[in-house]
Amino acid sequence: MKFKKAVAKGALLALTVLLMGGALFLFTYPWKKEPHYIIYIPKIVDNANEFWATLLAGANMAAKEYGANLSVMAGDSETDYRRQNELIEKAIDMKPDAIAVSPISYSENTQVLKKVKDAGIPLVYIDSVTDENVASAVISTDNVQMGRQLGEYMKNHLPAEPHIALMGHVEGSSTAIEREQGIRQGLGDFEDAVEEVLFCESSFQKAYTLTKDLLKQHPQINVISGMNEYSSTGVAQAVRDMGLSDRVAVFGIDSSTDQIEKLEEGVCRCIVIQNPFNMGYLGIEEAIRLADGETSQKLISVDSHLITKNNMYSEEKQKLLFPFIGKQATQDIVFE
């Protein structure tokens, strides 16, 4: 009898140890969690536009490093906020762990983006914002400061009697509104010299045509500033093709191979550049952090830099102008 009791006690003790060990194993074993599913809706996917291509490369790099699955959805035009709203609705229905958006319109995307928040899905703005504070985090260049930086440089390099035109990209977008505001602030007392504000709908060809028409109809214009890659490139190309590089001072925002060439040639006096790779990386990184339930930093500002022909060859500026992005940078992004 004593032997049976001892065996029973031993078995009970072994079972207890086994159960405790199993519980400890369950709580401490590094189970591999399911990868987060993130949807990003930029304004457009355009491989010919170096800003968006570089931003997507940064977004993809973050997704790969954090082991997340990234899907990208976009319309065919930077002006089509209605299509972007449809894609936001579609993204909500797909129930991702987080959604990142580059809103096309400062006002027309707001109500649909509120639905993301109402659905309990973390929302991150990348590059641009809306007129209401809807997102959990914003990763963007300080567009007012970038415009002010450009305006101050313009002010110090104006002709004796300046007649200024601004070539915006998309009327009603937060980036266009804020950059124009900053340029005007930077111009200071010369703000009254701004005679024309045009919008090219983020089309190189339209910026080119508008610039040529402007200079024919208003030959007194002697300063033109673009406000993104499409507008700046179109303006500079038109001025060069018209043989007016010595008379019309061109300034711009963003960097592309073509813009850099125009800077080297002296067609463009300066460009203020962003860091789209960092913007894309930090945007998706923040989306993943929010999906993990972490607290957001809310606003992450990405630096901008003024580049001129005199400083463009420095090692620091060369790294900014020619960031190394491998050929595989975006090839495994899922485009919906």
- Averaged over successive runs of 10 residues, the pLDDT of the chain (336 residues) comes to 47 49 46 83 93 95 96 96 98 98 98 97 97 95 97 97 98 97 98 98 97 98 97 98 98 95 96 95 97 88 94 90 62 67
Could you tell me the maximum CA-CA distance found in the chain, to the nearest angstrom? 114
* Three-class SS state of 299: strand
Note whether 134 and 196 are same-domain residues. Answer: no
Q: Give me the CATH number covering residue 289.
A: 3.40.50.2300
With 0-12 CB in 10 A as exposed, 13-18 as middle and 19+ as buried, what is 115? middle
Give alpha helix (H) positions in the chain.
Answer: 2-28, 50-65, 81-93, 110-118, 143-155, 174-187, 204-217, 229-241, 257-265, 276-291, 315-321
Q: Do residues 236 and 255 both lie within one domain?
A: yes
Say whether both 215 and 67 belong to one domain.
no
Whether residue 175 is contained in a domain is answered as: yes
Of the three residues 231, 258, 273, the one that is the final residue of a domain is 273
Cα 254 from Cα 307, distance rounded (Å) = 10
- Which residue is associated with the tokens 């203020």? 272
Crossing angle between the packed helical segments 204-217 and 229-241, to the nearest 10 degrees = 50
Clarify whether residues 94 and 178 are in a common domain.
no
Q: Give the Cβ contact number of residue 209 at 10 Å.
A: 14
For residue 67, the enclosing domain spans: 37-141+275-303
Residue partners of 5: CB distance under 8 A and separation at least 6? none
Residues 156 and 183 in one domain: yes
Please indicate, yes or no, if residue 30 is contained in any of the structural domains.
no
**Collapsing DSSP states into helix, strand and coil, what is residue 319?**
helix
Q: Are strands 194-199 and 37-41 parallel, antiparallel or unpaired?
A: unpaired
Please give the torsion angle defined by the CA atoms of residues 166, 171, 175 and 181, in that order, rounded to the nearest 10 degrees.
Answer: 50
CA proximity to 147, closest of 234, 225, 43: 225
The pLDDT score that the predictor gives to residue 330 is 56
End-of-domain residue from the set 251, 273, 295: 273
Final residue before a domain boundary, out of 224, 252, 273: 273
Same domain flag for 120 and 171: no
3 within some domain: no
Q: Is residue 206 part of a domain?
A: yes
Q: How far is CA 238 from the centre of its chain?
A: 27
Structural domain includes residue 27:
no
Q: Looking at the domain assignment, is residue 332 inside a domain?
A: no
Same structural domain for residues 180 and 267? yes
Spatial CA neighbour of 275 closest among 68, 51, 31: 51
Domain co-membership, 131 together with 158: no
Selection from 289, 282, 275, 281 nearest residue 330 by Cα: 281
Instruction: Give the SS3 label for residue 298.
Output: coil
184 and 235 inside one domain: yes
Number of domains in the chain: 2
Global pTM value? 0.85
What's the pLDDT score for residue 4? Answer: 47
Q: Is residue 218 part of a domain?
A: yes
Q: Is residue 108 located within the same domain as residue 148?
A: no
236 occurs within a structural domain: yes
Cα–Cα distance measured from residue 142 to residue 121, given in angstroms and rounded to the nearest whole number? 26
Report the half-sphere exposure of 172 (CA within 13 A, side-chain side).
12
| 171/106 same-domain check | no
Residues 182, 202 within the same domain: yes
